[in-house]
Amino acid sequence: MGRKKIGILTGGGDAPGLNAVIYTLIRACRSMKLDYDIIGYKFGYRGLYNNDFIPLTVENTSGILHKGGTILKSSNKDNLFKFPVEVNGVKEYKDESDIAIENMKKEGVEVLVVLGGDGTLTSARDFARKRNEHNEPEIKVIGIPKTIDNDLRSTDTTFGFDTAVNIVVENLGRLHTTAESHQRVIVVEVMGRNAGWIALHSGIAGSADVILIPEIPYSLDKIIQKVEQRNAIGKNFTIVVVTEGAAEKGGKESVAMIVADSPEAKRLGGVARKIAEDLAKANIENEVRHCVLGHIQRGGEPSPVDRLLSVRYGEAAAQLIKDQNFGNMVCLRNGEMSYVSLEKVIGAGEISETKTVSPNHELIRVARSLGISFAEAD
């Protein structure tokens, strides 16, 4: 078996900064003289199930700090506590977490560091709950929050969010030139699921005229009103930024597809097309186009802000391991690195409460002061 080990995995959607966390955790463990080898499980929890891993060293992770994506690959479908298996030709969902525990024990893994969002961290919590016959943890778990949506309540900011905002702002600048040249209304759909943080931040920084977020149901008439107001003063183009989970008052969110074998089966999308079609049917003066930025927002190299945040998370995770402070997730609180119990991150339910934008948030007030409309329904 050899030396005891730390296992690392990245689950859920990728986010700029994952490699920087891995890079830092490895170097911080060496700097702190922690007596562990480090391995990385491939494709998230699937790697635990298949015992599929690679060694991680200072040498073979050199040069990854600035790279986007994750060198460990990722998966957002593999919940080992509800894992699809075939029994007599029929798919069933079973708790296969013990297979992962046995695989980790076989390799001498004592600590599992999990980088992920609410779904991935739910499984991290569940692994932290598992006890042996002596009521001791089967595996020692550390969580690190990851999502470009910035919607985890237990931390002020998640890495990947700043990069996503920067990408949206850059693309809004490009779309502005086309909208103004052709006097069009362009509706731009951004990620965020049911939280409007990306749309709010990028909409303000990118000079949007209308921002639509899930927390404030919109009125089509109010969007039209804003377009007409701009046309009346000679600004014959309008940029609308909309979160994928936004919905008209009394309406439903737009669903792009259902992925049946995923813990998060409902995939949002299509709201920009819907709004563009509705505006065109209303016979407004301008031509209307829509643009879905999609996975562009989570790709490429992390911004300097996200690189710095990621290395702080990596170092803080190593510190928790050094202090033998397990069952926790590192977090950012009031600008300082801290930690919180995985039980409080996720709670008793299956998913954590999403951190959403309060209608009274300072940035909502700032946006309105700038003349940006949220097209809120009466």
Which CATH number is 214's domain given?
Answer: 3.40.50.460
Do 181 and 313 belong to one domain? no
Annotated catalytic sites, by residue? 149
| Terminal alpha carbon distance of the chain | 66
pLDDT per residue over 146-159, tens digit each?
Answer: 999 999 888 999 99
Residue 95 lies in a domain: yes
Looking at the structure, tell me whether residues 100 and 19 fall in a common domain: yes
Is 153 in the same domain as 17?
A: yes
* Complete DSSP assignment for 162-200: HHHHHHHHHHHHHHHHHHHHHTEEEEEEE--TT--HHHH
Count of beta carbons in the 10 Å neighbourhood of residue 256 = 15
In this structure, the answer to whether residues 98 and 239 fall within a common structural domain is no
Give CB contacts under 8 A, 24+ apart, made by 86-93. Answer: none
Structure tokens at 16: 């700029």
Q: 375 lies in a domain?
A: no
**Element (DSSP H or E) covering residue 243:** strand 238-243
Tell whether 185 and 93 lie within a shared domain: no
When the pLDDT of each residue in the chain is averaged and rounded to a whole number, the result is: 92
Do the Cβ atoms of 41 and 72 come closer than 8 Å?
yes
At residue 261 the predicted structure's pLDDT band, cuts being 50, 70 and 90, is: low
**Do 20 and 130 reside in the same domain of the chain?**
yes
Residue owning tokens 């020692």: 140
* Contact predicate 127/83, CB 8 Å: no
Query: Which residues make Cβ contacts (< 8 Å) with residue 377, sequence separation at least 6?
Result: 217, 218, 219, 222, 248, 249, 250
Is there a contact between 154 and 331 (Cβ–Cβ < 8 Å)?
yes
Same domain, 315 and 252: no
Q: Is residue 39 part of a domain?
A: yes
Look up the pTM and report it.
0.92
In-domain check, residue 269: yes
Q: Is residue 144 part of a domain?
A: yes
Amino acid at 365: R
**pLDDT confidence of residue 88:** 82
Q: Is residue 154 part of a domain?
A: yes
For residue 118, report the phi and psi dihedrals to the nearest 5 degrees: -65, -40
What pLDDT digit, counting tens, does each position of 64-88 carry?
999 999 999 988 778 899 888 888 8
Residues 16 and 62 in one domain: yes
Find out whether 226 and 209 touch, Cβ atoms under 8 Å.
Answer: yes
- Judge contact between 196 and 241, C-beta under 8 A: no
How many domains does one find in the chain? 2
| Same domain (yes/no): 227, 319 | no
Please tell me whether residues 126 and 221 are part of one structural domain.
Answer: no
**Which has the closest alpha carbon to 201: 158, 230, 264, 233?**
158
Q: From residue 354, how far is each of 48, 197, 283, 338 by CA, in Å?
A: 27, 11, 37, 20
pLDDT-derived band at 90, boundaries 50, 70, 90:
confident
Tell me the pLDDT tens digit for each residue of 326-343. 999 999 999 999 999 999
Does 329 lie in the same domain as 276?
A: no
In angstroms, the CA 310 to CA 316 distance is: 10
Q: Which domain holds residue 124?
A: 5-158+302-346
* 208 touches 239 (CB < 8 A): yes
Say what the pLDDT of residue 344 is: 87
